[in-house]
Structure 1
Amino acid sequence: MTAARDMITPSDRPSPPGRTVSVPRSWPQPGCRASASPVSPPPLRACAARRTRPQMRAGTDHRTAAHRLPPGWQFTLSAVVLFLALFGSHLATPLYPIWQADFGLSNTDIAIIFAGYPVGVTFGLLHGGRLGDQLGRKPLTRAGLLTILAASLCYLWAGGFTSLLVARLLNGYGIGLLSGPAVAAIVELHPTRNRGSASRIGAIATLSAPAAGMLTATLIAHYATGPTAVAAPYIIFAVLLTLGLILTGGYRETIHPEEKQSLRSASFRPQALRVPPGIALPFAYAACVAVLTWANTGLWLSLGPSIIPALMQGAHPMTGGLAVVAFLTTAGIVQLGGGWLGYLRAIVVSLILVIAALTTVLASLHAGGVAGVALGMLLGGTSQGLAWMGVVELTNRIAPDWSRATVLSVLYICCYFGSVVPVLLTGLAADVFGLSRAFGGLCVLSMSSAVALLIWTARLRRVLPDRHEILPDVPKGVDRTASAAPPD
C-alpha cells in the first residue's frame, strides 16, 4: 500500500474537507532533476522507478517466478539442464573404432573428426557469451540444446566422413553456445546468491556429465552388437536433451526484461576475447590455471585409454576407457567435498598435486608399473577437480552481472585451448622424437608451469578477493577500479 500510495501524484490525492492542497511549482525528488515546466510536477513514477531500481529488479524477478517452482528447485533444474547438455560431449569417443571399421576411415579422418568438436565449441563460445548477456540465459540455453539435438540426429543417420564431421561440429557449437549462459544462470539462480556454492555445482556438472556419458557409451559399445552399439547412445542422449528442453520452463530468466535486447538490436558478431578492464589481472591468473589443468585433462583423455592397456598385458579393452571415467569421477567427487577449502587454497593444492601426479606417472612409466600410473591418474583427477572448482568460483566472484556469460565464455575458450593444443603438439613431437620423449617433455613443461603459477599466486594473494568477498558490480563500460557505485 505504501508503494502504491507513493506512485500517486499529489494532484490525484483527495483533499480533506475544508482544506486546499497547493501544488508547488517544482517537485524535485532525491536523485531526480527538477521539472522542465514550472507548473506541472515531474513524473514521480519514473523518479521512483529510477530511485529504487535494485529493489524493483529483485521484486520483479520474484513476481515473475511466483507461478513457478520455489527458488531451490529452480536452481536444481538449471544445474540438471547443464548436466543433460554435457552428457554427450564425449559420447563419440568409444565409438570411433566402430565408425572406422564400418566406413573405412583412416587415422587422419578420425583425427579431423575429433578436431571438429573443439573447433565447434570455440565458435559457439564466441557467439553464446555475448548473446546470453543480451538476449537472456534461457533463449541461448534452448538454442544450444536444439543444436546438440540436431547433432545427435546427424550421428544416428551418419553414413561416412562428411556426416560425422558435420555432427561433431554441430555438437561442439551447441555446447559452446549454451556453456556460458547456462553456468551464469546457475550462479544467478542460487537461492542465497552464494557464488562459491553455485560455482561448485556448475563445475561438478561440467566434469560428471561427460564421465557419465562416456561410461554409458563404453558399456553399450562393448555389450551391444551391430548398429545398436552406435544408435543406442544417441537415442538415449536425444531423449535426455528433450527432457532438458522441457525443464528449462521450470526456472525463471535471470536477465531483467529492461536489460534484454531484441533480436534486431542484438550483436551476432563473434565476441572479442576480452574482459572488463577492472578484472583483467585476476582473470588472467584464473585463465592460466585453467589452461594448465585442462592441458593435463586433455592428456589423460587422449593418451589414458592407450597407456593403461599397454602396461597391463592381456587387459580388457574397456580398461583404458574406464580409467578415463575414473579420472573424471575422481574430479567430480573432490568438488563435492572440497568446498571448505575456498577457491585460493583449492588452486594452490591442485598446483602441488599436478607436480606430484606427473612425477609419479613418469617414474611409473619408466619402471613399467601399473599401480603408479593408476595413482598418478587419481592424483591428476584430484588436481583437476580442485583447480576447476577454484577457477570457476574465482571467475564468478570477479565477473560483473552484465557480462557474466561473456567472461565465462572467454574462460571456456581458454580451457579448450589448453586441452587441445598441448595434445596436438605432443602428437607432432611424437612423430619426431618418439611418444615417450614427447610425453616426458609435456610433463616437464606442465610441472614448470605449476611452479610458476605457485609463485604468481603468492604475489597476487593480496589482490584476489577472499573466499567471502564479491567484487561490487558496476555499470557496463565503467572500470571497476574507477567506480564501485551501483548502476543508476
Structure 2
Amino acid sequence: MTRTPPHAATGAPDQPSHPASFWLIAVAFLITMVGTTLPTPLYALYQQHLGFGPTWVTLIFAIYAAGVISALLAVGSWSDQLGRRPMLLAGLAMGAISAVIFLCTDSIGGLLIARLISGFSAGIMTGTGTVAVIEAAPKRWQNSATLVATAANMLGLGLGPLLAGFTSQFLPWPVHLAFVVHLVLLLAATAAILAVGETVQRPAKPRLGFQRPSLPAAVRGPFVPAAIAGLAGFSVTGLFTSLVPAIMRQVMGHAGGLVIGAVILVLFAGSIVGQAWVRRIREAAQMTVGCTVLILGVACLGLSIASAQLWLLVLGGALSGIGQGLTFRAGMGAVANAAPVGQKAGVTSALFIVYYLSMSVPVIAVGVSIPVFGLHHSAEFFSAVVALIAVLAMLSMNIVRARASNA
C-alpha cells in the first residue's frame, strides 16, 4: 500500500511540538505492558487457593500468547488506518478490563479469560505503541526514539512482577492489590494519551481487515535476520520468566514474591542495557554479539539450576537480557526504518508475532514436561535447547548476510 496523498486523507498528524508528548506516550506504553506480566509472581498463590497444577499455569500463559498473536493479526495494522491514539486507547481499555476480571474472579476460567484479554491489550499496544513513540519523538530524540520505545516495552514487562511481588508479600489483599494499583496507573495513562496529538495521517476511507502474513519487498531484507535473532532472544525471555518462580521456590528456597519479581526484573533491565549498548557495536556484528551473550546467559541459567546458586541465576538473567536487548533493538530498528510510511504499524506487528511465538513455545513445552520429567531435568534440557537455538540463529544470520552480499 502506498502512502495516501494529502488531498485524500483525513485527520492529518498533529506532530507533537513538546517533548512531553513523546514521554507521555512512552509512559502509557510502559504502564500497559506492566499489566501483562503482573500475575507472574501470583501464580503460586492462585495454585494454593484454587488447587491447580503447573499444566494449568502453562495453559494460562498459552492463552495469553494466543491473545497477543490474535490481536496482532487482527488489528495490528489498524492504527495505520484509524490513527495511533484510538488504538492506544483501545489497548489501555483492554488492560483495564483484564485487571477488573482479575479482581473479581475466583476460578481458573476467570484467570484464563483475564489473561486472554491481557493478551489482546499487549497485542494492540505492542505494534502501535512502538511506532507511536518513534513518530512522536522530537528532533533531538530521533536517534534514540527506537531505544525509548523498546525500553518502555521491556521495562514495563520487568516492573510487572516486581510490583505484584511487593504488594503480595508486604501489603494486604495479596492476590488483588496489584491490579487495583494497575487500574489507577491505566487511568493516568489514558489521560496522557488523550492529552497528546495524533502522529499519523489517516486515509479518508480506512481499510480494516485481518492482517495477512506478508511483508513489503523493502522490509524483507532486514526482517529475516531480525526474526531469526528474535527466535533466540524471546525464547530465552519466555524460558526465564516461566521458570524463575518455580526454580527459586523449589530449588533455591526463596519464596518471597519481591525477590522473585526482582530477579525477573534483572532480565528486562539487562535487555535495556543491551538495547543502549547496541549502537556501540558495528552493525554487521550486532546480531552475532547478541546471540553470543545469549548463549552465555542460558549456560548460567542451566548451571544455576544444577547448583542451586542464586547468584548464577541472577547472572544468567542479566546476560540473557543483554543478549536479548542487543538482538531486539538491532532488529526492530532496521525493520522500523525500512517499513513504508503507511505500513509501519503492520510491519512492526508482524515482527512481534514472530517474537511472541518464540516466547510462548518454550513456556508451553516446559509446562507439559515438568509433570513428566520434573523441574530439574526439564529446565536443564530446555536451557540447552534454547542455547542451541541461539547458535543456529547466529549461523543462519551469517548465511543470510552472505547471500545478501553476493546478490
1:243 to 2:184 alignment: no
What's the CA shift for 1:401? 1.5
CA distance in 1 between counterparts of 2:313 and 2:333 reads 30
Of residues 117, 120, 131 in structure 1, which corresponds to 2:67?
Answer: 120
Matches within 5 A, 1:326-345: 326-341=266-281, 344-345=284-285
**Aligned residue for 1:267?**
208
Matched residue type, 2:181: I
Partner secondary structure for residue 205 of structure 2 = coil
**Aligned residue for 1:355?**
295
For 1:39-79, what per-residue CA distance to the aligned partner results, in whole angstroms no more than 9, with x for missing partners?
Answer: xxxxxxxxxxxxxx68999xx64xx45xxx62422222221
CA distance in 2 between counterparts of 1:126 and 1:242 reads 27
**Aligned residue for 1:232?**
177
What's the CA shift for 1:443? 3.2
1:131 to 2:78 alignment: yes
1:180 to 2:127 alignment: yes
Partner secondary structure for residue 105 of structure 2 = coil
TM-score, structure 1 normalization: 0.74
What's the CA shift for 1:289? 0.8
Higher helix content, 1 or 2: 2
Of residues 156, 159, 165 in structure 1, which corresponds to 2:106?
Answer: 159
Of stretches 192-201 and 214-223 in structure 1, the one that deviates more from structure 2 is: 192-201
1:305 to 2:245 alignment: yes
Contact 1:71 1:190 in 2 (8 A): no
Tell me: CA distance 1:379–1:55, structure 2 relative to 1, closer, same or farther (3 Å): farther
What's the CA shift for 1:342? 5.8
Q: Structure 2: 5+ residue runs without aligned partners? A: none
What's the CA shift for 1:194? 6.7
**Aligned residue for 1:5?**
none
What's the CA shift for 1:343? 5.4
1:413 to 2:353 alignment: yes
What's the CA shift for 1:313? 5.0
Contact 1:122 1:416 in 2 (8 A): yes
Matched residue type, 2:324: Q
**Aligned residue for 1:282?**
222
CA distance in 2 between counterparts of 1:415 and 1:254 reads 25
Matched residue type, 2:205: Q
Q: Percent identity?
A: 26
Matched residue type, 1:448: L
Tell me: CA distance 1:193–1:319, structure 2 relative to 1, closer, same or farther (3 Å): closer
**Aligned residue for 1:426?**
366
> Which structure has the larger Rg over C-alpha atoms?
1
Of stretches 445-454 and 456-465 in structure 1, the one that deviates more from structure 2 is: 456-465
What's the CA shift for 1:182? 1.6
**Aligned residue for 1:387?**
327
What's the CA shift for 1:435? 4.2
Matched residue type, 1:93: T
Partner secondary structure for residue 229 of structure 1 = coil
Tell me: CA distance 1:444–1:288, structure 2 relative to 1, closer, same or farther (3 Å): same
**Aligned residue for 2:19?**
72
Greater RCO (CA < 8 Å, at least 6 residues apart) = 2
Matched residue type, 1:178: M
**Aligned residue for 1:48?**
none
CA distance in 2 between counterparts of 1:145 and 1:464 reads 41
Partner secondary structure for residue 197 of structure 2 = coil
Contact 1:216 1:233 in 2 (8 A): yes
Contact 1:130 1:405 in 2 (8 A): yes
CA distance in 2 between counterparts of 1:400 and 1:349 reads 29
For 1:344-379, what per-residue CA distance to the aligned partner results, in whole angstroms no more than 9, with x for missing partners?
Answer: 543221111122222334345445544333322221
Matched residue type, 2:213: L
Q: Structure 1: 5+ residue runs without aligned partners? A: 1-52, 466-480, 482-488
Tell me: CA distance 1:317–1:126, structure 2 relative to 1, closer, same or farther (3 Å): closer
Of stretches 82-91 and 318-327 in structure 1, the one that deviates more from structure 2 is: 318-327
Of stretches 318-327 and 132-141 in structure 1, the one that deviates more from structure 2 is: 318-327
Tell me: CA distance 1:271–1:285, structure 2 relative to 1, closer, same or farther (3 Å): same
**Aligned residue for 1:190?**
137
Tell me: CA distance 1:323–1:242, structure 2 relative to 1, closer, same or farther (3 Å): same
Matched residue type, 1:417: L
CA distance in 2 between counterparts of 1:339 and 1:434 reads 41
Partner secondary structure for residue 230 of structure 1 = coil
Contact 2:62 2:364 in 1 (8 A): no
For 1:415-466, what per-residue CA distance to the aligned partner results, in whole angstroms no more than 9, with x for missing partners?
Answer: 111111122223434455554444344333333333333334444447889x
Of stretches 272-281 and 292-301 in structure 1, the one that deviates more from structure 2 is: 272-281
Q: How many residues align?
A: 402
What's the CA shift for 1:119? 1.3
What's the CA shift for 1:142? 0.9
Partner secondary structure for residue 111 of structure 1 = helix
Matched residue type, 1:250: A
TM-score, structure 2 normalization: 0.88
**Aligned residue for 2:198?**
253
Of stretches 297-306 and 311-320 in structure 1, the one that deviates more from structure 2 is: 311-320
CA distance in 2 between counterparts of 1:292 and 1:349 reads 13
CA distance in 2 between counterparts of 1:174 and 1:314 reads 31
Contact 2:80 2:343 in 1 (8 A): yes
Tell me: CA distance 1:337–1:301, structure 2 relative to 1, closer, same or farther (3 Å): same
Contact 2:270 2:317 in 1 (8 A): no
Contact 1:127 1:177 in 2 (8 A): no
What's the CA shift for 1:133? 1.4
Contact 1:195 1:393 in 2 (8 A): no
Matched residue type, 1:449: I
**Aligned residue for 1:209?**
156
Of stretches 398-407 and 353-362 in structure 1, the one that deviates more from structure 2 is: 353-362
What's the CA shift for 1:205? 0.8
Matched residue type, 1:167: A
What's the CA shift for 1:195? 6.0
CA distance in 1 between counterparts of 2:257 and 2:163 reads 15
For 1:222-252, what per-residue CA distance to the aligned partner results, in whole angstroms no more than 9, with x for missing partners?
Answer: 1123xx2233211111111111111112322
User: For the aligned residues, what is the CA RMSD?
Assistant: 3.1
Tell me: CA distance 1:363–1:150, structure 2 relative to 1, closer, same or farther (3 Å): closer
Of residues 350, 365, 373 in structure 1, which corresponds to 2:313?
Answer: 373
Of residues 333, 336, 340 in structure 2, which corresponds to 1:396?
Answer: 336
Matched residue type, 2:231: V
